[in-house]
Amino acid sequence: MEAIKDTKQIRETKLSKKGFHPNDIELLRRVSDPQINSDGHAVAFVVVDPDLKSNSYKTSIWIVNPELGDSSARKLLSGDSLSLPSWSPDGSCLAFVEYVDGASKIYTYPTKETGERILVGEHDGKVTELRWSPDGSCLAFVARRSDPSQYGSAKEPLAAKDMPARRMDTLRYRLNAVGWTFDRPSHVFVADLKVGGDIRTVVSGRFDAQGISWSPDGRHLCFVSARHEGRDIDLCNDLWTVSIYDGELTRLTKTDKAYALPSWSPDGSKMAYFFNPTPTESPRHMRLAVMNVSSLQERIISAALDRNCSPFGSSRAPLWCDDMVVFGVEDYGNISLYQASTASNLEPTLLLGGDRWISDWHASHDRLVYVSTTPVTLEELWSCSYLLLDTKARIEVSPELPLTNFSKYLLREVDLIAPTRYLAISKDGTEVECWAIPPKDAVQNETYPTILNVHGGPFTQYGNHIFDEFQLQSSAGFGVLYCNPRGSSGYSEDWGRSIRWPECKDDPGSGWGEVDFDDVLACVESAVENFDWVDAKRLGIAGGSYGGYMTSWVISHSDLFKAACSERACNNLLTMEHSADISGFVKSYVGVSYLDNPEPYLRNSPVTYIKNISTPLLILHSEEDLRCPINQAEELYVGLKLLARDVEMVRFPGENHELSRSGSPKHRVERAKLFISWFREHL
């Protein structure tokens, strides 16, 4: 990594526009799920708008001509919650889902003639995937199926007091933001459009099935499912195919890895997909592989690329362009698109890069469309034409064309501050990638309170995308620091695995709170040296999830910070291991079971060192958080109150682990105001 040349940079005072404040969360329009039709002349995409008045998200479907640019973008379909646009094979019709009051309605809508939406199917529950068959005769979809005797129906749901007791026999039985899963498995359904939308189940049983992909002949669907004994312990799953005519299931893989997002090649001979080679030994890069469907021979095509090839939060399967596949890669704070040949042994190469996050993508005919964001722009839709070269081992793309320009509406209202990248040198000499944002309207030679932010995961990354948290802090008069310490994604797999516990048999590391602790402190120390707006006597620290863990850990091991905010944190790794929805996750880092040896869990838990905490602490937590359950906040809060320390806990009803990202708009605003108020009071 190359360090910046001049880290003593300061913005000139600029008062032309206001900063980004909590109520401006309503301006954060999101673009996602671009789908281009077969002739490459129309792109449908989803637009999500937070709405404070209704305290909800308004989701609509838009359309744009990729050859004409953003001037042609227009809203096609409106509703409270529209999603999953999908073009018919001939490009004449768009299918989509509307989810209201616990039920999904599947519609088709003719786009080449004046018409109305046509209801083709209904399902109690949320449809999460929707795919046209290659001949356009039916739609496959994925959704959870609930037992009416347990839950009632969407129209007449049973009250909790009227439900039978739940009887479970699986280790993993619930999921954050989803709820109970053991008695609501996700199944695969097919709606036959030739017989009035008749819906039949093609993959059923007590096992989850997801990640569907049609075979080009329309006779089979490929999907991912764990249908074996021991699936809760080994965390493996398999690729399967199902005949849509007789329901015959065929397992393609050996139940030795965790597979995800299969994608059938255009000629039907291959399957591309991602996999985790050791799902019980975190973290791992997701690899990209291709399988010969007839011989079941697998070849890893991302072997030379030491990066995570299925970015955190992405649901994009490998995208076929003839014999090439396009996929996203986390790299040094960016998400870029790479290309790889499935017909040669050439190494993957960069297709679209730069200092940005490319979050969604799709291709058809000779055109590629994708969603991209930077630290000072919203997610926007872009397009470029592509050409498969004669060698069929490389794709060449044309200049990029913007298809939306929603950022202009945000930037008319607020001033967003661009970060400065810098390198910090950790205690052992390791370089750590960091960023700094000065306070908005900072004045030369003045110092300001500064907040260090720590990301969650830990196997995720901060980087070059818009993040309302940082803009809120800068606009409130705080300097902002953030970094990707060891344990983050976006770098080598060794970097991510360096914080595995010393007890691990394979790739032992320092454990959480050791080299990563050194790295985040180095981020601050370097900023104090190089940015003259940082007030070294008024430093704060904040983070959520693993970032909340690190916040709690840092203030129990250092007096550097004068105030802290620990959010949706894991504070007791021993109780976290058996109370979270992802039982076994902590063990995948620790290397030994807490039943055999609880000591390593407690040794690296912030609550073990609670008596050392004297820093004023704000604890934020959601009451329906299943990832880091509310007891994680309570254990820290109660202990600190018993010690008569300066601590406050705020609990958000009806919210889960995703509060700061997708919680109700009013709660997001309230949370932001609490955060800013706490640090203003204590810094």
pLDDT tens column, 629-671: 999 999 999 999 999 999 999 999 999 999 999 999 999 999 9
Listing DSSP states for 604-641 in one string gives T-GGGGGGG--S-EEEEEETT-SSS-THHHHHHHHHHH
Q: What is the mean pLDDT of residues 411-435?
A: 97
pLDDT tens profile 202-250: 999 999 999 999 999 999 999 999 999 999 999 999 999 999 999 999 9
Whether the per-residue pLDDT at 392 is higher than 80: the answer is: no
- The SS3 assignment for 495 reads helix
d(CA 95, CA 171): 37
Answer with the residue of higher pLDDT: 17 or 297. Answer: 297
pLDDT of residue 124 exceeding 70, the answer is: yes
Give the helix/strand (H/E) hosting 437.
Answer: strand 431-437
Provide the 3-class DSSP secondary structure of residue 176. coil
Q: Is the pLDDT of residue 86 over 80?
A: yes
pLDDT of 13 > 70? The answer is: no
pLDDT at 1 over 70: no
Listed in sequence order, the DSSP H helices in 203-257 are 231-234
pLDDT at residue 391 in the model? 67
pLDDT value at 6 more than 60? no
- Which pLDDT value is given to residue 313? 85
Q: Which residues contact 103 (CB under 8 A, 6 or more apart)?
A: 122, 123, 124, 125, 154, 155
Question: What pTM was estimated for this model as a whole?
Answer: 0.95
d(CA 311, CA 318): 12
Count Cα atoms within 13 angstroms, Cβ side, for 175: 9
Contact call for residues 650 and 679 (beta carbons, < 8 A): no
Q: What does the pLDDT read at residue 2? A: 34
Alpha-carbon distance of 328 to 371, in angstroms, equals 12
Q: Is 34 exposed, middle or buried (0-12, 13-18, 19+ CB in 10 A)?
A: buried
In one-letter notation, the amino acid at residue 287 is R
The mean pLDDT of the chain is 95
| 148 φ/ψ angles, rounded to the nearest 5 degrees | -60, -30
Predicted confidence (pLDDT) per residue in 438-496, tens digit: 999 999 999 999 999 999 999 999 999 999 999 999 999 999 999 999 999 999 999 99
pLDDT at 533: 98
Percent of all residues in the chain with a pLDDT value above 70, rounded to a whole number = 97
Q: Residue 627 pairs with which residues in a beta bridge?
A: none
| 447 backbone dihedrals φ, ψ, rounded to 5° | -110, 155
**Which pLDDT score is estimated for 389?**
77
User: What pLDDT score does 387 carry?
Assistant: 85
Query: All domains of the chain, ordered by start, with CATH?
Result: 210-379+388-402 (2.120.10.30), 411-682 (3.40.50.1820)
Q: What confidence category does residue 394 fall into, taking pLDDT thresholds of 50, 70 and 90?
A: confident
Q: What is the pLDDT, as a whole number, of residue 11? A: 34
How would residue 17 be classed by pLDDT, with cut points 50, 70 and 90? low
Q: How far apart are CA 283 and CA 494, in angstroms?
A: 9
Q: What is the pLDDT of residue 562?
A: 98
pLDDT > 90: percent of the chain: 91
Q: For the chain, what's the residue count?
A: 683
User: Residue 550 pLDDT > 60, yes or no?
Assistant: yes
Mean pLDDT of 402-417: 95
**pLDDT class for 112, splitting at 50, 70, 90?**
confident
